[in-house]
Chain A
Amino acid sequence: MIAGISIYEILTVTTILFFIGVYGFITRKNLISILMSVELILNASVINFVVINKYLYPDMLQGVFFSIFIIAVAAAETALAISIIINLYRQIASVEVKDTEIMKY
């Protein structure tokens, strides 16, 4: 744990980060920007896992392992999403959400 910092302050920071991500996810109209907002949300949840493990159950390691798995899944998701976006850009020459129609069905 961090000396002099209570768990409430860290959870406040991560909650704010999470809702900034939600705000960006809804208001952005570009596929890459939406992907970046998802990264913000995932990072907020990873900090929560680590902090709750470190403050409440210091002799366990479960939250620590879960944070590693979340990062691995997030990296895989980003690589796949970007390859899909690039493929889509080749076909319709745009990455705006409103032009993305050929992925239906």
Chain B
Amino acid sequence: MEKIIFYILALVIIVFAIASVSSKKMLRSVIYLLFVLIGISGIYFLIDYNFLAAIQLTVYAGGVIVLLIFSVMLVHHIEMELELAKVSKRILVGLASLIGLGVFLTTIYSHEFIVVENYTTTTTEDIGFGLLSYEAGGFILPFEVISILLLASMIGAIVIAKGTKLTNKKNDTV
């Protein structure tokens, strides 16, 4: 049962990822990206890591996609079509990607992974204790740093997106 679900998810992810990078219409390409992200959260559910699946759904499917759709609407007409790269360039880049894919896959398949048989569930409690512990192996410092980073990027995004008006006002007073 899990096998079938995994193959369906893998198929959905790959097909919609290809559609997302090759679609001519901007808004459709964003929606295909949404399907890819939802498929990835399905993989997290399968692997018994429910917390990250929920984060994936809220942050990516709920936040990033909405931001992307808003920016597409601000910048484009819905019906506008993208200009594509030259055919020769696309074939060249596709070949280069295939070669890179081959190199990666041969490396992966020639390596012997020591897999430990287990079916443990990662609970939110474990993650909370790990993130907030300040003993050896705890992650309290990166946790605090990431909160500062989020605050800084929030302020930065507001300042940059309002940019011209703020600087004009400053120039007027000076």
Contacts and interface: CB of A to CB of B under 8 A. Distances in A.
A27 B55 contact: no
A54 B131 contact: no
A100 B84 CA distance: 17
Contacts of A83: 156-158, 160-161
Contact of B47 (A15, A54, A91): A54
Contacts of B60: 39, 43, 71
Interface residues of B, number: 82
A71 B163 contact: no
Nearest to B116: A58
Contacts of B116: 55-58
Given A30-B26, A50-B52, A71-B55, A13 B21 contact: no
A32 B118 contact: no
Given A19-B101, A61-B127, A40 B55 contact: no
A39 B64 contact: yes
Interface string A1-34: 1111111111111011111111110111110110
Contacts of A69: 142, 146
A68 B57 CA distance: 13
A78 B67 CA distance: 8
Closest 9 CB pairs of A and B: A24-B21, A76-B153, A83-B161, A83-B157, A58-B118, A19-B97, A83-B160, A4-B3, A27-B85
Given A2-B6, A84-B160, 13 more contacts: A3-B3, A17-B14, A26-B93, A27-B21, A27-B89, A32-B72, A35-B68, A43-B60, A46-B40, A54-B49, A56-B115, A64-B130, A89-B75
Interface of B: 2-3, 6, 10, 13-14, 17-18, 20-22, 26, 29-30, 33, 36-37, 40, 43-44, 46-49, 52, 55-56, 59-60, 63-64, 67-68, 70-72, 74-75, 82-85, 89-90, 93-94, 97-98, 100-101, 104-105, 108-109, 113-120, 122, 126-127, 130-131, 137, 139, 142, 146, 149-150, 153-154, 156-158, 160-161, 163-164
